[in-house]
Amino acid sequence: MKIVQVKDIVFNEGRPKICVPLVGKTKQDILAAVKILENVAFDLAELRIDFFEGVEHPEQVEALLAEIKSLYKKPLLFTFRTKKEGGERELSLDRYFELNRFAIRSGMVDMIDLELFSSEEDVIKLIAEANEQNVKVVLSSHEFFRTPPKEEIVARLVKMQQLGADITKIAVMPQSEEDVLTLLAATLEMKKEKADRPCITMSMGKYGVISRLAGELFGSCLTFAAAKDVSAPGQVSVRDVRSILEILALD
């Protein structure tokens, strides 16, 4: 099983890492969220650039990244979540890949999130470019209205590995307790039989909170938690997540 290191954070080693979202419509909102992190015990942050009102203007994105870099030293995950996968806005496919290519070439992000169900050809090309720039790629899939069967969840994660992702990710929405078990069973199957690199899985909403806390046992290397504003249903506060992960630690 591969590990992935980003700065001083090692995925697939020890407890699941805690990622906090940076969300905000304006540069001022986002920078205020960054400053809050000075007193928060977390491992990395995800810039949800789809919330940013200047996202379609490269010069505004560049200025925002530069200011974040001046304030923040931990790993930064750059994510434009599309509308169809639960994000705040839509971009054309060309603009989506242009934005992520811009982030890779900026030298100011450590990781990017790419969606599996976009363009396979462009995903492969962008992963290759990211590798050249030492930017890690999280290949992801999100289901905000259902939980697919276990076999489908596993198949998507395996496909992400085949495409060259550094880290694979799937998030699903449970409609029942059984759906949460489906996600956990798929995660465990990846851990024991299929995964050759770090994997992130989660079941969202109230039912799925347990999946955000039990990653070390079942095989998810990262969990998302809120320092202030949440970016997905079911996120728990960083303080609570940190305390529970310490209690559940396997070492």
246 pLDDT tier (thresholds 50, 70, 90): confident
Nearest by Cα to 49 from 72, 28, 79: 79
**Whether 142 is catalytic:** yes
Q: Is the pLDDT of residue 170 over 80?
A: yes
Categorize the per-residue pLDDT at 243 as very low, low, confident or very high, splitting at 50, 70 and 90.
Answer: confident
Q: What is the pLDDT of residue 227?
A: 82
Cβ neighbour number for residue 136 with a 10 Å cutoff:
21
Cα–Cα distance for residue pair 205/49, rounded to 1 Å: 22
Task: Compute the C-alpha angle 63/228/42, nearest 5°.
Answer: 80
- For 199-241, the pLDDT digits (tens) are 999 999 999 999 999 988 999 999 999 887 555 555 678 888 8
Averaged pLDDT for residues 63-76: 97
d(CA 242, CA 249): 10
Q: How far apart are CA 246 and CA 225, in angstroms?
A: 15
Reported as a pLDDT band with limits 50, 70 and 90, residue 251 is: low
Q: What angle is formed at CA 13 by the lines to CA 166 and CA 246, rounded to 5 degrees? A: 130
Q: Which residues, including other chains, have CB under 8 Å from residue 201's CB and lie 6 or more apart?
A: 153, 157, 169, 170, 171, 183, 186, 187, 190, 211, 215, 218, 219, 220
Residue 57 annotated as catalytic: no
- Rounded to whole angstroms, the Cα distance separating 124 from 76 reads 22
pLDDT digits (tens, 9 = 90+) for 77-97: 999 999 999 999 999 999 999
Residue 249 pLDDT: 74
Which pLDDT band holds residue 247 (cuts at 50, 70, 90)?
A: confident
| Whole-angstrom distance, CA of residue 46 vs CA of residue 238 | 14
Mean pLDDT in the chain?
94
Say what the pLDDT of residue 248 is.
74
Catalytic position from the list 57, 83, 159, 169: 169
Confidence band of 167 (pLDDT split at 50, 70, 90): very high
Exactly one of 142, 192, 206, 228 is catalytic; name it. Answer: 142
